[in-house]
Amino acid sequence: MREVAVVSFAQSPCVPADREHDMAELVQPVVREALDAAGLDRDDVDFFASGSHDFFEGRTFSYIESLDAVGAWPPISESHVEMDAAWAFAEAWTWLQLGEGDVALVYGIGRGSLAVDLDQVMPAQLDPYLLAPLRPHRDALAGLQACAMVDAGLTSERHLAEVVARCLGAAIANPAAQRSGRVRVDDLLAKPYVAAPLREHDVAPQGDAAAVVVLAAGTAATRPAGRPAWVRGLDHRMETHYPGVRDLTRAGSAGMAAARAAEMAGFSAAEAEVAELHTEYSHQEPLLVTALGLGGAEVNPSGGPLAGRPATATGLVRIGEAARRIMDGGVGRAVAHATNGPALQHNLVCLLAAAPS
Amino acid sequence: MTLPEPVTTMAGPLRMDYTYVAGAGRSVFLRGLAGRRLLARRCPGCSQVYVPAPEMCSRCLRPVGPPFELAGRGAVSTFCVVNFPFPGQVHEPPYVVAHIRLDGADTRLMHLVREVAPERVHIGMRVEPVWVPDEELAASATSIRHYRPVWPADA
Amino acid sequence: MSAALAVVGVGQSRQAKRREVTIGALVREAVDAALADAELGFADIDAVVLSKTPDLFDGVMNPELYLADAMGAVGLPVTRVFTGGSVGGHAAIFGAHLVAAGLARRVLVVAYSKESEGNFTWALSRGLPFSAHLGAGAGGHFAPVIREYIRRSRAPEHIGWKVVVNHRGNATRNPYAHIRRAGITLAEVRDSPMLWDPIRYLESCPSSDGSCAVVITGAELAARAPRPPAWIHGMAWRTETGHFAGRDEVNPRAGRDCAAEAYRQAGIADPAREIDVAELYIPYSWYEPMWLENVGLAEEHRGWRLVDDDRTAFGGDLPVNPSGGVLAGNPTGATGLLRFAEAALQVRGLAGEHQVDGARRAVGHAMGGASQFHALWVVGSEVPA
């Protein structure tokens, strides 16, 4: 495998609703910032990959507008996934393996605020014959999963509140966080349920943001100043769709992806010092900590999605935040996780390190 | 016992409501329309004049310059005649949808061309905007109801 | 590309309004057929790439989730690509990349559309509240571009009709095609209703349901394939932004650059001579001469002469869309992959009744957006040098 590293990461602040900027206006300054931080120009980029989804944007072919932000002229080598941009990261990393170019720019845009009511939208992710007609509200499946976790003794409502309190506290130091603050666990527990045992704060708040990660291969990765975060392993796996068939207290696909990534990396998530997990719900943290086999990693030092969830940019932000801890010189090994679909059906794991293989 | 009829179809109606954000660049143009002004902006990098203008030139990736008003007339650059009905259609076919190059601009905008028989529309035809009355003006492209030919005497 | 890559299995469903099957079953038809063609089971596949056009066409969001079981994707990495109408091509190329990168030994690329679930023109006409209510639909976008091509090239008006006669005749030799009408004449096309002047009804693609799947692998495993592989000689994708002054949408540079890169990889200096058959993304008849020029199979403004001289007819020296192409069936999410797959079938000698004799090198091409996204591959019956 070719040595590929993250050489910069930038994001716009995750805000509850950006009513000023269109897609290109949101993405472009973040592209500029990421390229500047990497000491690169748009013309240095050999491949562009992006992730976003029409159903958050509210129209067909919505991602085309974002191309105006990357300057697709002269014509560029480019692709797009209608998924979380973490999968665009995977595509860019794959592309860099080919040796046709050395620099890839990955961008994700996610605007959770445009849909007036996500209960209208999210059921569309389900089997259209057997599940979507039940019109579960947006957090219903997560509620089932959290309930299963509590019933199995794998977590408790108090533990969930502790996760939230810790994340919101950590987010104080994150200027991009949508939500942050010092909260008391007992105050959290006093709030009403939205999907028992989940309360409003157990649900990652939808927001709007764009994120950009620049990847470079081989010597291109060492040219820009600073420490690159080497992508030592990356894998993703999917489970069966039907929640009734799955053990919702486990995410076997996350464990499988972690194991495959570890084979590539020569170290596992257990040895990561920092873990950025795509936890759309607080109960998914204890679930993933077990599934990924985390050791003593600090989980979601950025605050994680519980401090702000910019739809299809959320997973890419996890990769960027994990990479940033390495680029800042703080840690030697980090793991990032991204998810697709309700109740952790599809999971991506990325292992990053300060040193190449 | 007779078996029930198999289910062959099921209706899965979807309704999704969204808020759309015009964006900074587009807002300048739309506010211009509310005042019956066609605002264009020039990119200082490549000197291309955009109407409607984005906030940044999509070639140079730099902010475009301040808005200035165009007279409003232009020429049909290319067009088609929509000839069949479909759900959600606003106008009754046949009607002409054209790419119009406004005098002073380098980009084209798409709009209807009416007040002329479709078969008389041609590439290069001079057109001018028909604005809605005051009470219908809004920050929307619908402030221009359509374009119509500028007959030789007025061109 | 250091090690050779090949298509070893191709499957497709019938294209039609497929109201009698679920989306999963429609996808499974192509998947089963591709695996059967390659004589493989699900356990032999290491990764899945799914191609699909906007989710609003059938109302299923992130369909890779629902389709996990239908695609045999449980336990595998899955990626759903979307790049406008070129998505099938982009997905095939990304699938090939996974093999080339050593991340998968065999990749299943799956593409589908089940547009009968919704209304295609409605879905495309969802305008922004502050936009003009033009209601032009897909053809309304392409018709003005065609008009400009006709003006530039001075092509006579019957060229579009001739393309229709060729493609629709070809479709009668393709059991999978949606529209199979024998004996269509030029007069019939000329007299069919005008939809978006100058595009007439018979010159337009239908809206179809359909699925397609291919299995891509590397040289070592391709050598074990039961039927001849289609070797990938060159592949490329290019995108250009849509909104800038001076953009040429008739002969977009992204398309020219894309084809040139694929030919360069394939060592092709004179594509018009070295390519035996082309499956091009032609949703409206006039796009045949336009794309012939754009992908370097004809000189600028002369593409229409190839049509007029019957060179692109089934019996000509450069048959275009022997499968009947997009005019015969357009499941938009699959259409690009179908072009790539049909090119592969030709050089494998497995195109059945629509096999072009002696086809050794073929082009598969896909386009998306307002001619912004382009994907193209060159496949051949021999291992690339």
Residue from C286, C244, C280 nearest C259 by CA: C280
Query: What local confidence, expressed as pLDDT, does residue B16 receive?
Result: 93
CA separation, residue A267 to residues A273, A288, C102 (Å): 12, 18, 20
Residue from C5, C81, C112, C130 whose CB has the most chain A CBs within 10 Å, to mutate? C81
Q: How confident is the model at residue C1 (pLDDT cuts 50, 70, 90)?
A: very low
Share of chain C above pLDDT 90, in %: 84
Whether the Cβ atoms of residue C271 and residue C356 lie closer than 8 Å to each other? no
How many helices (H) does chain B have, and how many strands (E)?
A: 1, 8
Interface check A78 vs C, CB under 8 A: yes
> Tokens for C162?
């001739």
Task: Please state the φ and ψ torsions of residue C168, each to the nearest 5 degrees.
Answer: -70, -30
C195 pLDDT band, cuts 50/70/90, is confident
Residue A77 structural domain: 4-115+206-222
B23 interfaces chain A, CB cutoff of 8 Å:
yes
Q: Which of residues 131-170 of C touch B (CB under 8 A)?
A: 131-137, 139-140, 143-145, 147-148, 151
Q: Do B112 and C134 touch (CB under 8 A)?
A: yes
How far is Cα A1 from Cα A235, in angstroms, rounded to an integer?
14
Q: What are C78's strand-pairing partners?
A: C48
Say whether B99 and C193 touch across the interface (CB within 8 A): no
Compute the average pLDDT of residues B34-53.
Answer: 94
Q: Which residue of A has its CA nearest to B18?
A: A115
CATH number at residue A47: 3.40.47.10
Within a domain: A326: no
* Residue corresponding to tokens 């989940």: A198
pLDDT level of residue C165 (50, 70, 90 thresholds): very high
- Phi/psi at B127 (nearest 5 deg)? -135, 160
B16 vs A21, A120, A129: nearest CB: A120
Greater confidence (C241 vs A2) lies with A2
> Residue C273 domain-assigned?
no
User: In this complex, do B24 and A22 lie within 8 Å of one another by their Cβ atoms?
Assistant: yes
Is A301 inside any structural domain?
A: no
> What are the average pLDDT values for consecutive 10-residue runs of chain A, which has 357 residues?
96 98 95 94 96 95 89 93 98 97 98 97 96 94 98 98 98 98 98 97 98 94 83 98 96 98 98 98 98 97 98 98 95 98 97 95
Burial of C149 (0-12, 13-18, 19+ CB in 10 A): buried
Which residue has better confidence, A288 or C182? A288
User: What is the spatial distance between Cα A344 and Cα A251, in angstroms, rounded to a whole number?
Assistant: 6
The answer, yes or no, to whether residue C243 has pLDDT greater than 80, is: no
Q: Would the CB atoms of B54 and A68 count as touching at under 8 Å?
A: yes
Catalogue the long-range contacts made by C301-308 (C-beta closer than 8 Å, 24 or more residues apart). C301/C152, C301/C153, C301/C154, C302/C153, C303/C153, C304/C153, C304/C155, C304/C156, C304/C159, C307/C159, C307/C162, C307/C163, C307/C166, C308/C156, C308/C159, C308/C162
Rounded to 5°, angle at Cα C83 from C79 and C85: 120
Other CB atoms within 10 A of residue A184 CB: 10
C365 and C290 in contact (C-beta within 8 Å)? no
**Residue A227 placed within a domain:** no
In a domain, C52, yes or no: yes
Residues 233-252 (A) with a CB less than 8 A from some CB of C: 235-241
| Over residues C12-26, mean pLDDT | 94
Beta bridge partners of A340: A346
Residue C104, in any domain of the structure:
yes
Residue A232 lies in a domain: no
Does A41 map to a domain? yes
Q: Is residue A280 part of a domain?
A: no
Q: Structurally, how many domains does chain C consist of?
A: 1
Write the residue in B16, B21, B59 that is nearest to A21 by C-beta: B21
Give a yes or no: residue C346 inside a domain: no
Domain that holds residue C98: 5-119+207-222
Of A59-63, C32-36, C361-365, the range with the lowest mean pLDDT is A59-63
**Domain extent listing, chain B:** 24-149
Token pair for residue B113?
Answer: 């061309």
Domain assignment present for C79:
yes
Contact C148 B49 (CB under 8 A): no
Give Cα C149 to chain centroid, integer Å.
22
What's the domain count of chain A? 1
Domain containing residue C101: CATH number: 3.40.47.10
Inform me whether the C-beta atom of residue B14 falls under 8 Å from chain A C-beta atoms: yes
Is A153 domain-assigned?
Answer: no
Count of Cβ atoms closer than 10 Å to residue A89 Cβ: 32
What was the ipTM of the complex prediction?
Answer: 0.97
Q: What DSSP string describes A232-262?
A: EEEEEEE--S-TTTS-TT--HHHHHHHHHHH
Task: Report yes or no on C214 lying in a domain.
Answer: yes
Summarised one tens digit per residue, pLDDT across range C57-109 is 999 999 999 999 999 999 999 999 999 999 999 999 999 999 999 999 999 99
Average pLDDT, integer, range B126-151: 94
> Do the chains contact at A53 and C55, CB–CB below 8 Å?
yes
| Burial of C193 from C-beta contacts in 10 A (0-12 / 13-18 / 19+) | exposed
Record the pTM.
0.96
Q: Report which DSSP code applies to A203.
A: B
On chain C, the residues whose CB falls within 8 A of the CB of B106 are 245-246
Question: Phi and psi of C109, rounded to 5°?
Answer: -105, 125
The residue of A63, A64, A91 whose CB has the most chain C CBs within 10 angstroms, and thus the best one to mutate to test that interface, is: A64
The answer as to whether C10 is a domain residue is yes
- Range of B93-102, C117-126, C372-381 with top mean pLDDT: C372-381
Cα distance between residue C192 and residue A346, in whole Å? 49
pLDDT for the residue B89: 75
Q: Provide the token pair at C211.
A: 């699925």
